[in-house]
Structure 1
Amino acid sequence: MIIKKYIVNDMKEALIRAKYELGKDAVIIHQRKIKEGKWYNPFKTTKLEVTLAIEEDKDNIKDPKEAKDPKETIQNKDIYGKNNMENTNISKEKDIKTNILFKDANEELKEKLLSYCKLKSLDVNSLTSEDIKDFLNIGYKDNCFKEKLSLGKLNVMVGPTGVGKTTTIAKIAAKEYLENNKKVGLITLDTYKIGAVEQMRTYAEILDIDYEVVTEPNEMINKINKLSHCDILLIDTLGTSQRNKEKLQDIWEYLKDIKEDINTYLVLSISTDRETTLSIMDKYKQLEYDALILTKFDEVSSFTNVWNIMEHTDLPVEYFCHGQSVPDDIEIANIDNLIEYSKEVYSYD
């Protein structure tokens, strides 16, 4: 196999160069935006780095020095030999029709997936779990399903209102207490939402585990010390819009003076639209989250947002949540569990 990397202004230029040098059967296996120029240059230009591959056939490979100026070559053709990009999009919709994992994915991911399938001579609608993992490892080398952030002593859940932080904490607490025999303690800072304290107290009483409420930032260290005998502390925070800078700062005031290591998980609902999700991921960075938890799988008909999230973070996704049942509706976030869940819900083989 011959693999070549191009740094170009746009995808059209990459496709033209690739077809001239590698032939019409070259396929895209990876693409990303990069900044070109010296590290100290504030006006670095944005370029596209595109990696293409073709099964080795030296007779068809041309010397790149002989390549013509892309402006002088035929435009609006892609690597599949279609006459225009509109035909390519029609082909994608036709090709990815029964694979529930990818049928509503964004165009960039579809492009990579179809290129991968062409390179490997695979049917996009009959991919095995191993095929999908191989695709993600090639197209998204540092994808968020590979690494995991193990629960530590202190674990904080942050995220918008209504994404399921409190229920997620209850699920994790129940699993750790019942299945792993851990001493678990719960702390809530969420005294804003009506019923939040009572909900957390109810979970603590059912599991017969310790529980504390923090009403002011200066109480935080004392409450943690009161639960120092626990193996795991799960800390619930108030939900707030990513646009509410004041409330985000309030949450930080509770956490900033903690000297022990903290694992902070951003809890996201995959039923949230793409732009809002990306905005949440960006604005919540001020709380220095280390990993993600994805909820509300039971409320969506596709996995579009899973892939949107994957393409915009290298941080690990720790759990998938798919219902209100405690502790059953939570899974370790990996591709095998995602595939099994999709098969169970959408009833396909």
Structure 2
Amino acid sequence: MIIKTYTVENMKEAIVRATYELGKDAIIISQQEIKIGKWYNPFKKKKLQVTFALEEKTTPKILVKEPKIEEKKYSIEELIEKNPMLKNTSDRIRSQLLGYLKLNMKDENNLSTEEIVDFMKMAFKENCFEKKLRVRKTNVFVGPTGVGKTTTIAKIAAQESLENKKKVGLITIDTYKIGAVEQLKTYAEILKLPFEVVHRPEKMKEKLEKLKDCDVLLIDTLGTSQRNKEKLNDINLYLENIKNKTNRFLVLSVSTDIETTNSIFQKYKVLDYNGLILTKFDEVTNFNNLWNIIEHNEYPVQYFCHGQNVPDDIEKATLENLIAYSEEIYEDE
């Protein structure tokens, strides 16, 4: 008897998959509702787990000699084109990469993650994925509208409170956008975290004092265009009232075009950011802007994000994690 279990959104999906894989004679022997995710995650999604059984029919086996298929051999140029991380590099980087691989490739038909990492460390000795900020109590998140600042804060808050067992406090100064306060407040309620709203710059000190017993403070700011000097100055008025040392993360979407990204880097310097968090890796079809960031950004990249799921869709920003993720999404396509 063949027994197979499917984890699905609904019964219709389970039946379709079972019929396709096992045939129309498969029968349901059990079903139950389950929650998917790590045990400590309060945002776990509900799924349906359905088990099917199929009586095996014995048929005489016919031995067929399969023709020997010769493995296709690829040139280094073809291997680069097949790799999602490398195929969109600039001419300068591609030239360096070709020279490096001709001397260092161990398997002429396979480009390993280790070889890509080694090349990037060689080509960019001070690259932003090798740098990391020292952990501080107070962390501010700035960036354009729509890059996912609030969701990123929720992911970090969940990791720090649930995994690292730290007391986390949340603060927002984003009282401009409709629903912004409510969004972060909802996350705070789910995670059972203290939450404060700062309506005026001079109230920042008072709110920080309320949360002085927290191990980690995460401060959300309003999203604004890099061209809006007035709003950037408004944010600065709030930040000037934070007297203790802070990490200031510029949250940036890798789906943004290169010219706009470089403009954001330049204009947001008025907020004295000292680190980056890159988001929306799940939305990009190429890594052009990522290579631009690696080449031209001097600040450490602390995390990268690849979806809306809290707290799962966030990774420590290492070259190994980045390449592994790019290869994973490439294989899924």
Band the TM-score falls in, shorter-chain normalisation: 0.7 to 0.9
Question: Alpha-carbon deviation of 1:123?
Answer: 7.1
Identical aligned pairs, as a percentage?
A: 61
Pairing partner for 2:287 from 286, 290, 303 = 303
Are residue 273 (structure 1) and residue 249 (structure 2) matched? no
Matched, 1:291 2:275: yes
Indicate the residue corresponding to 1:158 in structure 2. Answer: 142
CA drift at 1:274: 0.5
Structure-2 separation of matches of 1:123 and 1:294: 32
What do the CA deviations read for 1:44-86 (whole angstroms, capped 9, x no partner)? xxxxxxxxxxxxxxxxxxxxxxxxxxxxxxxxxxxxxxxxxxx
Mark the CA change 1:124 to 1:173 in structure 2 (over 3 Å): closer, same or farther.
farther
Describe the SS at the equivalent of 2:292. Answer: helix
Q: 1:122 to 1:100 in 2, by over 3 A?
A: farther
Taking structure 1 as reference, are residues 148 and 322 closer, same or farther at Cα in structure 2, changes over 3 Å only? same
Secondary structure, counterpart of 1:171 in structure 2: helix
* Structure 2 Cα separation of the partners of residues 180 and 284 of structure 1: 31
In 1: Cα distance, 2:140 partner to 2:195 partner: 14
Deviations 1:108-164 (A, max 9, x none): 322222222133256798332221222122111100111211431100000000000
Match of 1:171 among 155, 173, 178: 155
Q: Distance in 2 between matches of 1:95 and 1:127?
A: 7
Give the Å deviation of 1:198: 0.3
CA spacing shift, 1:304–1:92, aligned 2, 3 Å: farther
Bigger mean CA offset, 307-316 vs 105-114: 105-114
- Give the equivalent residue in structure 2 for 1:185: 169
**1:332-343 counterparts in 2 under 5 A?**
332-343=316-327
1:342 offset after TM fit, Å?
Answer: 1.7
Match of residue 88, structure 2, among 71, 91, 104: 104
Q: Kindly indicate whether the alpha-carbon contact (under 8 Å) linking 1:97 and 1:125 is maintained by their aligned counterparts in 2.
A: no
Shift of the alpha carbon at 1:257? Answer: 3.0
Q: Secondary structure at the match of 1:138?
A: helix
Secondary structure in structure 1 of the residue aligned to 2:152: helix
Q: Which residue of 2 aligns with 1:217?
A: 201
SS at match of 1:233: strand
Instruction: For structure 1, list consecutive stretches of 5 or more residues without a partner in the other structure.
Output: 1-90
Q: 1:231: which partner in 2?
A: 215
What is the 5 A alignment of 1:1-349? 96-121=80-105, 126-347=110-331
1:176 and 1:182 in contact (8 A); partners too: yes
Distance 1:308 1:314 in 2: 11
Alignment: residue pair count: 258
CA distance in 1, matches of 2:100, 2:139: 38
SS of the residue 1:267 aligns to: strand
CA distance in 2, matches of 1:125, 1:205: 52
What value does the CA root-mean-square deviation take over the aligned residues? 1.8
Mapped contact 1:114–1:124 kept (Cα < 8 A) = no
In 2, Cα distance between equivalents of 1:340 and 1:280: 28
Q: Output one character per residue of 1:155-207: Cα deviation in whole Å (capped at 9) or x when no partner.
A: 00000000000000000000000000000000001011110000011000000
**In structure 1, distance between residues paired with 2:283 and 2:266:** 24
Matched residues in 2 for 1:222 and 1:337: separation? Answer: 40
Q: CA deviation at 1:107?
A: 2.3
Q: Which residue of 1 aligns with 2:28?
A: none
Task: Give the letter aligned to residue 145 of structure 1.
Answer: F
SS of 1:315's equivalent in the other structure is coil
Residues 219, 259 of structure 1: CA spacing in aligned structure 2 closer, same or farther, 3 A cutoff? Answer: same
8 Å CA contact 2:171–2:195 kept in 1: the answer is yes
Provide TM-score, normalisation by structure 2. Answer: 0.74
Q: TM (normalized to structure 1)? A: 0.71
- Equivalent-residue separation in structure 1 for 2:253 and 2:216 (angstroms): 24
Distance 2:319 2:202 in 1: 42
Could you say what secondary structure the match of 2:115 adopts? helix
The CA distance in 2 between the partners of 1:313 and 1:343, in whole Å, is 24
Distance 1:178 1:343 in 2: 29
SS of residue in 2 equivalent to 1:347: helix
Q: How far apart, in 2, do the equivalents of 1:277 and 1:208 lie? A: 35
